[in-house]
Amino acid sequence: MDAREQACAFCEIAAGTGGARVVYEDAHTLAFFPLAPATRGHTLVVPRAHSADLWAMDETAAQHLFRTVLLVGGALRAVLRPDGMNVINSAGAAASQSVFHTHVHLVPRRPGDPMGPIWPPKGAGFRDEEDPAADALAARVRAAIGRPGR
């Protein structure tokens, strides 16, 4: 374990040395309630192996992670019957990632809950329907993917 992993709270939980209310675990992932949940049932799903964010994971590890996200998210829906659920992954400080170990938040939602909206108010976001730069950006992304798009 390197110095970054030794200081990682999620690595400690995965190793069984950090305290958490674990609701699911397997050989590759675990899911637990955070210490300061946004709503009742708010759950974090993390890979056991340290990776700073989703982009640092290989495809197999990401598949294991999202298989657990679906499993635990389905259980939360069955048990809590929320009106909705946010599935959130933040990668990087600019995206409000505060623990630099890949994790996915499952946040059961109800009207008026303390979570609040996660998008800008209608009309306040970026608009680019008729922007030629957006068309050029779409072409560059398609080229980076290596497959034709629309």
Residue 26 pLDDT? 96
Q: How many CB atoms lie within 10 A of CB 150?
A: 4
Sign of CA dihedral 142, 94, 37, 110: negative
Burial of 25 (0-12, 13-18, 19+ CB in 10 A): middle
Asked if residue 4 has pLDDT above 60, the reply is no
Q: Is residue 24 assigned to a domain?
A: yes
| Active-site residue flag, 50 | no
Question: What's the whole-model pTM score?
Answer: 0.86
Asked if residue 148 has pLDDT above 70, the reply is no
Asked if residue 129 has pLDDT above 70, the reply is no
Q: Of the candidates 61, 66, 53, which has an alpha carbon nearest to the alpha carbon of residue 94?
A: 53
In the chain, how many domains are there?
1
Residue 116 pLDDT? 82
Model confidence pLDDT, tens digit, residues 78-89:
999 999 999 999
Q: Could you list the residue range(s) of the whole structural domain that residue 13 is in?
A: 3-115
Higher pLDDT, 127 or 95: 95
Model confidence pLDDT, tens digit, residues 29-56:
999 999 999 999 999 999 999 999 999 9
Q: Is residue 59 assigned to a domain?
A: yes
Instruction: Give the integer Cα–Cα distance in Å for 85 and 101.
Output: 22
Catalytic residue, candidates 42, 50, 64, 103: 103
Residue 51: give its domain's CATH number.
Answer: 3.30.428.10
Q: Is residue 134 assigned to a domain?
A: no
Q: Is residue 128 assigned to a domain?
A: no
Q: Provide the pLDDT confidence category of residue 3 given band limits of 50, 70 and 90.
A: very low
